Amino acid sequence: MPLVIMPLRQLIKRKKGIPLIPNESKQELFPHLPLNERKQADVTARQLFSDFHLSDLGLGKK
């Protein structure tokens, strides 16, 4: 078993430091939903952004 673990560790590369989240457009997050569901999903998303202070991360901006 230890002989298998070492090659696996070499395959998995770890980066040190702060993980970077790529900035993506937050417009039209739910275009695949019907209009009434899209509006409700947008309201729910905005509430979650507010509840969990995700705007501090630059998320939820339009």
Q: How far is 15 from 20, CA to CA, in rounded Å?
A: 11
Instruction: Give the per-residue pLDDT at 35.
Output: 93
Q: Answer yes or no: is pLDDT of 58 > 70.
A: no
Cα distance between residue 52 and residue 56, in whole Å = 9
Q: Is the pTM of this model over 0.75?
A: no
- Per-position DSSP letters for 4-61, written without gaps between them: HHHHHHHHS----SPPPPPP---SSS-TTS-HHHHHHHHHHHHHHHHHTTGGGGT-S-
Question: pLDDT tens, 11-52?
Answer: 666 667 776 777 777 778 889 999 999 999 989 988 988 898
Quick check: 25 and 61 in contact, CB under 8 A?
A: no
Q: Residue 62 pLDDT more than 50?
A: no
